[in-house]
A = this chain, B = another copy of it.
Amino acid sequence: MPLHGDSILAVGTVAFDTIRTPFGVRERVVGGAGTYAGWAASRISGSVGLVSVIGEDFPQSELEQMQAAGMDLSGVELRQGEKSFFWSGAYHMDLNTRDTLATELNVLADFKPVVPEKWRNAKWLLLGNIDPVLQLSVLDQMEERPQLTVLDTMNYWMESAMDGLLAVISRVDVVSINDDEARQLSGQHSLVRAAKHILSMGPKYAIIKKGEHGALLFQNNANGALEFFYAPALPLEEVVDPTGAGDTFAGGFLGHIARCGTTDFDTLKQAVVVGSALASFTCEAFGAERIRTVSEEELLERVDTFRTLVDFTPIAAVAI
């Protein structure tokens, strides 16, 4: 598969998750940041080069489905005699908060990502949620700075690897994190101040994800003033499993940008909507089931729902 203009390189875990929600349990479904991001991006853009590691317990049929969807797995190391990364978590009633029940690093313990030769000049790079040291290693292997690099991370790395995380943040274009994490990273409660703080750390754009409340996109415009965009989340009647929603968002976000080939604020706003729409599908089923079957028609319809959801007739006058 040759590298095209819309090909995306992504690093992230390919793993097993056992997920408990108040409404059910699923044992060892295929998950991981790389899996969700890869499925999301490859559905709407060109090929996705995944950089990851799996054990011999990872099912061949899954790998075949990923390849059929346009994922190049030449950067996914297969370790014979070892087990894939495993995570288990239990969601609370609100399906917004969760406890980690188990983390088994397995193959991830001493993973050294290797970017395949032909992917080292990819224009679009997604540093999915994984140890910042590994994200830095991927950055270092690129021949030149990609046109846009998106970093997704989580609070775990703020507690255990802050130095590495700060180093990665200073070298990317977009940081995508959730609201609590933005507050933790910046020491600011106000999300506007948190975004300003993150933008001062190097990135051109900051995305703050608010789960069921949507996502905010920030940039400093040409005049140095903060500009922002708010994509609300679609209110869902039933959230089955939010695992991977953030990874799906990141993959869909960069997928849309890669497909358009432009990185202006207008394209990024659209990309936040496309990422949010894809993430809403991920929440509708356990694991990555829904994201791999969503049709173009369904996705376009949902994107349009995001538009009509917030659309109102302009208000010409208020009397005071």
* Chain A positions near chain B (C-beta within 8 angstroms): 43-45, 93-95, 189-193, 210, 213-214, 216, 228-232, 235-239, 256, 259, 266, 269-270, 272-274, 294-296, 299-300, 303, 307, 309-310, 312-315, 317-320
Contact = CB atoms under 8 A, between A and B. Distances in A.
A44 B320 CA distance: 5
A210 B210 CA distance: 12
A318 B193 contact: no
A197 to B, nearest CB: 12
Contacts of A232: 214, 230, 232, 310
Contact of A312 (B191, B266, B315): B266
Contacts of A300: 315, 317-318
A215 to B, nearest CB: 10
B229 A235 contact: no
A229 B310 contact: yes
Contact of A192 (B237, B299, B313, B315): B237
B310 A230 contact: yes
A231 B214 CA distance: 12
A318 B189 contact: no
A307 B296 contact: no
Residue of A228, A229, A230, A295 with highest tally of chain B CB at under 10 A? A230
Contacts of A94: 189
Contacts of A228: 235, 309
Best-surrounded residue of A44, A45, A189, A314 (most CB of chain B within 10 A) = A189
A226 to B, nearest CB: 9
Can you list the 10 inter-chain pairs with the closest CB atoms, starting with the nearest?
A: A296-B320, A213-B213, A310-B310, A269-B312, A192-B237, A230-B232, A230-B309, A192-B235, A44-B318, A303-B315
B190 A237 contact: yes
Nearest to A273: B312
Nearest to A310: B310
B270 A299 contact: no
A210 to B, nearest CB: 7
A238 B193 CA distance: 8
Given A93-B189, A190-B238, A190-B239, A307 B317 contact: no
Nearest to A190: B237
A193 B213 CA distance: 16
A216 B237 CA distance: 14
B216 A214 contact: no
A259 B315 CA distance: 12
Contacts of A93: 189
